[in-house]
């Protein structure tokens, strides 16, 4: 049957149900016999002691909620009987000491990557096609259609084949019932053999920005795009500009130089209003892109040490097991990589609500602690001014599966960052420049945050999920980690690793974290993850505003 309940921290006054529990059951928890007063679904929590209205609910050792009414030991906590609450925090003198985990096993480990002139090492080798403004999106789509199939990067379209088969059934006079009864039988045939085997693909970063809004939006967008162009997973880029938009090419070049003063990758800048005819623009863009990719294909993977890796840390479709299985396992992997001299990025600031004091105390530099406090305070204030707040972050799916307050969700989400000191605090879309744990201000929105982490330098993203989500990225492999075994077994087409072993007691957090790092090494050397195989190229720039 395995372990049925868990107290996460000794100070907690709630217990996590690891399995479905029934009202009336006698549960032995930490030496205390508790009679359950309610049914408690797996992932949800019940009380370890009686509470009065206004009393605090503690989980992960921090305040996560306040009781709305008198509650009894054995009651399940819900959105009806408790509400979100989080402790305040302050910048204070800190003497944080950290002992890195034993990294002996990986000290001499190498991955095979693409070495760039700025000293960074990519885990992939992509060419980018980027519009400076949404007006160029159609031209970019024309280039996508022309180049992906010709270069062998278009996967076999099993769904198109299926639709044609249904059309044939209709033409043959089959009934609606017979059409609905047709089997899919769609084999995953993957990609064709690429013409340029050392180029992983050509990616097209269409977006809805570049003009309108405020001028700061365009500067921020140019910073993000510069982060992608200078990214070590990118060999070169073709940029299409209309010409008159707010996001001028000169701003983009300034942002590129900020990130790489000696930038020397092939970069083709094409201005439609200068060139004239659309056909001339596209013909020139396709020729230059093709020639650039041929030259870039001469690059080869070479050995690199693990300190060259930058991991983005992300969660989406989280559940009540996220904070006790996949997230802490990713956190241990993060600590291992930091111990090896690498970098990790913890983002999603609305999902750090209630754990700010811990993160502030871990900042190496007081200036970073103050910046973190300012960014969190500003984000929270703007959310409140918009009629919302961090307390409204949990989605219906989060709540249904046990994350009933933002503070509960946040305390578990922060586990992805491990226990190491905070090396830097970054505002979107600033790049990672220091090894260690970097805090990056982004929304909690999965795709906006993943897009931002990669723009700041993440070469691989570790993405935990309890409910299942297909999110990927155009240039960085997104590794999906299931928090529970049923999800892993149900969605094998989008999930890479199972962390449900921790819940089942067959693997420790440390063992799972080590397994993740081993997998990261394989991915860094070219192993394809599900999001890459599926062509899941999600790219949504954050237009600075309230997005929880």
Instruction: Report how far Cα 517 is from the mean position of its chain's Cα atoms.
Output: 16
pLDDT attached to residue 374 = 97
SS3 of 443, please? coil
pLDDT attached to residue 392 = 86
**pLDDT tens, 215-260?**
999 999 999 999 999 999 999 999 999 999 999 999 999 999 999 9
Torsional class of 83: left (φ above 0), alpha (ψ -120 to 50), beta (otherwise): beta
- Say yes or no to pLDDT of 539 above 90: yes
Query: Region 510-533: what's the mean pLDDT?
Result: 98
Q: How far apart are CA 83 and CA 405, in angstroms?
A: 7
Q: How far apart are CA 27 and CA 7, in angstroms?
A: 13
Q: How far apart are CA 363 and CA 357, in angstroms?
A: 10
Angle, CA of 95, 12 and 383, to the nearest 5°: 75
Q: How far apart are CA 380 and CA 388, in angstroms?
A: 9
DSSP string, 254-317: HHHHHH-TT--S-EEEEEHHHH-SHHHHHHHHHHHHHHHHHHHTT---EEEEGGG-EEEEEE-S
Query: Region 460-483: what's the mean pLDDT?
Result: 98
Report the percent of the chain where pLDDT is more than 70.
98
Query: Region 190-218: what's the mean pLDDT?
Result: 90
| Token reading at 412 | 């578990």
User: In the structure, what pLDDT confidence band is assigned to residue 276 with cuts at 50, 70 and 90?
Assistant: very high
Query: Region 58-87: what's the mean pLDDT?
Result: 97
Give the count of alpha carbons within 13 A of 13, CB side only.
19
Determine contact, residues 201/236, Cβ cutoff 8 Å.
no
- The closest of 101, 148, 65 to 353, measured between CA atoms, is 65
Query: Region 77-85: what's the mean pLDDT?
Result: 97
pLDDT attached to residue 154 = 81
Q: How far apart are CA 250 and CA 147, in angstroms?
A: 27
Q: Phi, psi (5° rounding) for residue 230?
A: -85, 0
Q: What is the mean pLDDT of the chain?
A: 95
pLDDT attached to residue 483 = 98
- The closest of 235, 209, 233 to 222, measured between CA atoms, is 209
Q: How far apart are CA 155 and CA 147, in angstroms?
A: 13
- Report how far apart, in Å, the C-alpha atoms of 10 and of each of 15, 58, 79, 128, 375 are: 11, 10, 24, 50, 31
Query: Region 36-62: what's the mean pLDDT?
Result: 97
| CB neighbour list of residue 200: distance below 8 Å, 6 or more residues apart | 124, 125, 126
pLDDT attached to residue 191 = 53
- Say yes or no to pLDDT of 188 above 60: no
Q: How far apart are CA 67 and CA 75, in angstroms?
A: 12
User: Which of the 8 DSSP states describes residue 323?
Assistant: G
Query: Region 438-450: what's the mean pLDDT?
Result: 97
Determine contact, residues 276/243, Cβ cutoff 8 Å.
no
**pLDDT tens, 103-151?**
999 999 999 999 999 999 999 999 999 999 999 999 999 999 999 989 9
| Token reading at 454 | 């990669």
pLDDT attached to residue 213 = 85
| Token reading at 536 | 């899941």
SS3 of 485, please? helix
**Domain ranges in the chain?**
5-84, 126-155+190-298, 307-533
- Say yes or no to pLDDT of 449 above 80: yes
Determine contact, residues 377/389, Cβ cutoff 8 Å.
no
pLDDT attached to residue 227 = 98
Q: How far apart are CA 271 and CA 99, in angstroms?
A: 53
Determine contact, residues 338/344, Cβ cutoff 8 Å.
yes
- The closest of 11, 45, 7 to 28, measured between CA atoms, is 7
Instruction: Report how far Cα 429 is from the mean position of its chain's Cα atoms.
Output: 15
pLDDT attached to residue 187 = 56
Determine contact, residues 7/60, Cβ cutoff 8 Å.
no
Residue bearing the bigger pLDDT, 423 or 185: 423
| Token reading at 397 | 């799916």
**pLDDT tens, 363-400?**
999 999 999 999 999 999 998 998 898 888 999 999 99
Q: How far apart are CA 27 and CA 40, in angstroms?
A: 12
Which CATH architecture group holds 126-155+190-298? 3-Layer(aba) Sandwich (3.40)
Query: Region 191-211: what's the mean pLDDT?
Result: 91
| Token reading at 499 | 């962390």
Q: Determine the topology of domain 5-84 in CATH.
A: 2.30.130
User: In the structure, what pLDDT confidence band is assigned to residue 156 with cuts at 50, 70 and 90?
Assistant: low
Report the percent of the chain where pLDDT is more than 90.
89
Element housing 126 (H / E): strand 126-131
pLDDT attached to residue 185 = 76
pLDDT attached to residue 225 = 98
User: Which of the 8 DSSP states describes residue 363?
Assistant: B
Q: How far apart are CA 402 and CA 321, in angstroms?
A: 8
Give the count of alpha carbons within 13 A of 350, CB side only.
28
**pLDDT tens, 280-326?**
999 999 999 999 999 999 999 999 999 999 999 999 999 999 999 99
- Report how far apart, in Å, the C-alpha atoms of 262 and of each of 124, 207, 257, 295 are: 21, 28, 7, 20
| Token reading at 209 | 């920005």
pLDDT attached to residue 432 = 98
């Amino acid at each position: 049957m395995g372990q049925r309940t868990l107290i996460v921290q000794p100070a907690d006054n709630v217990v996590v149900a690891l399995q479905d529990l029934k009202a009336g059951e006698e549960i032995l928890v930490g030496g205390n016999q508790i009679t359950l007063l309610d049914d408690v679904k797996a992932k949800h929590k019940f009380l370890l002691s009686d509470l009065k209205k206004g009393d605090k609910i503690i989980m992960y050792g921090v305040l996560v909620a306040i009781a709305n009414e008198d509650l009894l030991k054995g009651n399940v906590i819900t959105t009806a009987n408790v509400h979100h609450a989080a402790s305040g925090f302050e910048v204070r003198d800190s003497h944080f000491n950290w002992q890195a985990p034993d990294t002996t096993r990986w000290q001499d480990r190498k991955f095979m990557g693409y070495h760039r002139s700025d000293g960074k090492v990519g885990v992939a080798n992509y060419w980018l096609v980027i519009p400076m403004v949404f007006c160029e999106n159609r031209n970019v789509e024309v280039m996508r259609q022309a180049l992906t199939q010709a270069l062998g990067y278009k996967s076999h379209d099993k769904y198109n084949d299926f639709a044609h088969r249904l059309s044939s059934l209709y033409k043959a006079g089959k009934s609606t019932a017979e059409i609905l009864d047709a089997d899919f039988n769609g084999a995953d045939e993957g990609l064709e053999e690429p013409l340029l085997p050392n180029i992983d693909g050509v990616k097209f970063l269409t977006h809805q920005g570049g003009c309108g809004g405020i001028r700061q939006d365009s500067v921020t967008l140019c910073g993000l795009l510069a982060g992608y162009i200078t990214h070590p997973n990118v060999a070169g880029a073709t940029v299409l500009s209309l010409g008159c938009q707010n996001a001028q090419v000169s701003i983009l070049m300034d942002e590129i130089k900020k990130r790489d003063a000696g930038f020397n990758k092939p970069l083709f800048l094409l201005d439609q209003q200068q060139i004239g005819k659309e056909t001339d623009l596209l013909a020139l863009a396709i020729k230059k892109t093709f020639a650039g990719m041929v030259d870039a294909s001469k690059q080869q993977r070479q050995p690199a040490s693990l300190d060259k890796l930058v991991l983005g840390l992300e969660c989406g479709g989280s559940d009540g097991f996220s904070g006790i299985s996949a997230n802490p396992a990713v956190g241990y992997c993060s600590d291992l990589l930091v111990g090896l001299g690498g970098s990790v990025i913890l983002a999603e600031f609305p999902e750090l609500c209630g754990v700010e004091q811990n993160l502030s105390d871990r900042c190496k530099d007081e200036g970073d602690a103050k910046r973190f406090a300012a960014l969190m305070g500003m984000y929270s204030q703007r959310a409140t001014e918009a009629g919302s707040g961090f307390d409204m972050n949990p989605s219906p799916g989060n709540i249904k599966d046990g994350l009933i307050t933002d503070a509960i969700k946040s305390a578990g989400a922060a586990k992805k960052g491990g226990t190491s000191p905070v090396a830097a605090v970054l505002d979107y879309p600033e790049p990672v420049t220091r090894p260690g744990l970097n805090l990056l201000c982004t929304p909690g929105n999965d795709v906006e945050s993943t897009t931002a982490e990669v723009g700041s330098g993440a070469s691989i993203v570790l993405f935990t999920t309890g409910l299942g989500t297909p999110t990927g990225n155009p240039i960085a492999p997104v590794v999906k980690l299931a928090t529970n075994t049923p999800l892993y077994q149900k969605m094998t087409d989008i999930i890479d690793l199972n962390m449900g072993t921790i819940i089942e007691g067959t693997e420790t957090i440390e063992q799972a974290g080590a397994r993740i790092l081993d997998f990261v090494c394989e991915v860094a050397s070219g192993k394809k993850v599900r999001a890459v195989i599926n062509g899941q190229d999600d790219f949504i720039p954050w237009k600075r505003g309230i997005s929880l």
